[in-house]
Structures are given as C-alpha cells and as structure tokens.
Amino acid sequence: MSKVFAGILIGLALGAAGVVILLQYPGLQDLLKHPQTQGEPGAEEPAEESFLQQDAQGKTIVRLDPDTQTRMGLKVASLAAAEAPAEVKGWGRVLDPAPLAALLTEAASARVALQASTREFERLKVLYSQDHNASARALEAAEATLTRDRIQLESAQARLLLGWGKAVAAREDLAELVHSLVAQEQALVRVDLPLGESPKTAPAGGRLAPVAAPDHPIPAQILGPAPAADAQLQTDGFLLLARTDGLVPGTVLAAWLTLAGPQRSGVLVPRNAVLRHEGETFVYRQTGADTFQRRAVTLEHPSGTGWFVAAGLQPQENVVVVGAQQLLSEELKGQGGEE
C-alpha cells in the first residue's frame, strides 16, 4: 500500500513540473498545438517558378532567360521558304484484289468456252448445209451453247466495268496487273476526297502514306475516277496504283492528289519542330530573345526532311527544333493541365 501511495505522489510531482515548464515557455505550447516538420520551422514551401506570361494580345507566351534556355538545351532553326504544287488531301484504302482476280478468271473461262462453242456451231452448220450431215437438233443445241457462253462472257465483262471502272477493265495488261496486285508488288487504292473538294480537272498524280507513318509517302499513278460513289461518304473517288512492298488490303492511307494550277508558296517546317497534342499539331515560334509562343499549324504534306506548311508561318521565322516538348510541358503545367 505504501508503494502505491508513493507512485501517486511521484506522478503528481512530475505533472506539476510539466505545468511549470509550459508556463515558463509559451512557444512550447504553440509547438505542441501545431507541430512542424523537422528542418522546416513553420516556413511554407516556396511556389514553383512559372515561365508563363501574357503578351499584349492576352496570348500565352513562355519566357525563358538565356541561362534557362541553355540548361534546357533549347535550339531553334530558321524556316526556309518552299513551294509546292496545288494539292488536295484525302483518305485512301487499299482494295482487295481477290474479287477482281475472280472476275478476270471468270471472264477468261467464258471467253475460252465461247471460242470452243463458236467453232462447234460453225462445224455443225457446215455439216448441216451439206445434205444434212448434221441434224437440225444438234445445230440448234450448238447455237444455244454458243449464245449461253456469249452471255456469260458479256456478264463478266459488264461486272468488271461496273465494279472497277473503265480505267481498270479496259487495260490491255489487266492479267499482269492482277498478278502484281495479288503478289502485293503493287497496290490498287481508292482515294476519297472531303465534301466540297471535288477538283475541276482530273488530278495529275498522287502520293500515298500509311496513317501510322505519314512522313514517308510513296508516289502513285492516277488510273481514273472510281466507278461508284462511296456508300457512306458520298464523295468523289479516284483509283490510284502504287508500286509498293507489302501494303495489304484494307490498309488506310493518307493521300495527296496533285491538281493543275500554279505553285503554292509556304515554308518547310523541320520534322523535329512539330508537336502533336489532343489531335492538333503545333510548333513553338521564337517571338523574342527570351520568349516563345505556341502556334497551331496545318501540315500540308511531307517534303524532304519536314512538312510543307502554306499558312501561319513566315520564311526566316525561328521555331524550336530541340526542346519543344519541354516548352509544351511547362505551358501545360502552368495552365493546370497534364504534361
């Protein structure tokens, strides 16, 4: 019992001592109420520096002093003037040559059958004329066979013309063309243009590129207009032939059709300067020694080491070719967007 009583007295003594210490050091009371992280006695974390400003027109610019530009490894290049033929952009699809090959085979078979039935009919007709050495029934059957074979050939030729157009069906080298399509040495492509972009004259040529690799187009030969309108787009279509390696049927392509007309003036934008974000394309223009501004551009078509751009940029303007993605990240962070 004496030990319990002694423990109570010690506890009361320690509690009294603690009260005295708190009364003598008021700051200790605040520390207990609002504990701070070690090494940061009450100081708030400094806000991250923002490089964004607004120009006189209220547009966002990125301002970087020369040291920051050097640290980021920023590099700019001057835009070169460029010219390009008048073109219209569309979308293409590699056609499956199997139906064309099947029709060609059917037409060839019908042609051979017609030749055989024609010879048989002529033979029986001669025999019938020679004192009826052939019966009238045999002659009539041969004539019916000849007529059937002629109808089958005409049907196959009509379906070739309606389904593939005169530019394909009337080719003298159609058999060789179909063989090259089946072997994927060449690709037959249907290109459809946007509504309202119907050219007044037939395109003189074209270029095609896979949607996944638009920077590397291949030349294509215009065969002629497509035989029918697209069921969904209801737009003008053209058939193009491209010598290529491995464009499989169904591949979707970007297409540029060359039109008659004067050359267009613009600039050649280096490939490294182009940024893509949320379905749009941009470059960063250098608007001053330490200021940069994002500009939306329309990439007309690939040309050499870059893209031809007809509007929005001027020759001799500087654009960022190294570090453009960093500028975009800084701008998006400053605007509260994702990097």
Residue 337: pLDDT band (50, 70, 90) is low
Whole-number Cα distances in Å, 62 to 45, 66, 211, 282, 331: 24, 13, 32, 14, 7
- Render pLDDT for 173-197 as a digit per residue (tens, 0 to 9): 999 999 999 998 999 999 998 877 7
Three-state SS sequence of the chain: CHHHHHHHHHHHHHHHHHHHHHHHCHHHHHHHHCCCCCCCCCCCCCCCCCCEEECCCCCEEEECCHHHHHHHCCEEEECEEEEECCEEEEEEEECCCHHHHHHHHHHHHHHHHHHHHHHHHHHHHHHHHCCCCCCHHHHHHHHHHHHHHHHHHHHHHHHHHHHHCHHHHCCCCHHHHHHHHHCCCEEEEEEECCCCCCCCCCCCEEEEEECCCCCCCEEEEEEEECCCCCCCCCCCEEEEEEECCCCCCCCEEEEEEECCCCCEEEEEEEHHHCEEECCEEEEEEECCCCEEEEEECCCCEEECCEEEECCCCCCCCEEEEECHHHHHHHHHHHCCCCC
Q: Are 309 and 297 in contact (CB under 8 A)?
A: yes
Distance CA 223, CA 209 (A): 18
The answer as to CATH 2.40.30.170 being correct for domain 88-95+188-258 is yes
**Res. 336 pLDDT band, cuts 50 70 90:** low
The pLDDT value given to residue 9: 52
CA distances from 276 to 40, 280, 296, 299 (A): 42, 6, 10, 11
Write the pLDDT tens digit of every residue in 118-132.
999 999 888 888 877
Lowest mean pLDDT among 25-29, 92-96, 150-154: 25-29
Top-ranked range on mean pLDDT: pick from 6-10, 43-47, 94-98: 94-98
What burial letters (b/e) apply to 3-25, b meaning 16+ CB within 10 Å? eeeeeeeeeeeeeeeeeeeeeee
Tokens of 74: 């920023």
Q: What is the mean pLDDT of the chain?
A: 81
Q: What residue spans define the domains of the chain? A: 52-85+264-334, 88-95+188-258, 98-169
By the 8 A CB rule, do 319 and 275 touch? no
- Please give the class, per CATH, of domain 52-85+264-334: mainly beta
Distance CA 199, CA 238 (A): 11
Q: Rounded to two decimals, what is the model's pTM?
A: 0.65
Pick the closest to residue 52 from 331, 307, 332, 337 (CA basis).
331
Q: List, in sequence order, every residue forming a beta bridge with 91; answer none if it has no partner.
A: 192, 254
Using only C-alpha atoms, the chain has a radius of gyration, in whole angstroms, of 40
Alpha carbon distance 180, 97 (integer Å): 10
Looking at domain 98-169, which CATH architecture does it have?
Orthogonal Bundle (1.10)
pLDDT category of residue 205 using cuts at 50, 70 and 90 = confident
Contact between residue 266 and residue 309 where contact means Cβ atoms under 8 Å apart: yes
Contacts of 164 (CB under 8 A, 6+ apart): 100, 103, 227, 239
Q: Are 76 and 319 in contact (CB under 8 A)?
A: yes
**Distance, CA of 295 to CA of 286 (rounded, Å):** 10
Beta bridge partners of 218: 208
Of all residues in the chain, the percent with pLDDT exceeding 70 is 81
Structure confidence by residue, pLDDT tens digits, 133-146: 788 898 899 999 99
Pairing of strands 275-277, 306-309: unpaired
- The 10s digit of each residue's pLDDT in 279-308 is 788 898 988 888 888 888 888 877 778 888
pLDDT at 204 exceeding the cut of 70 = yes
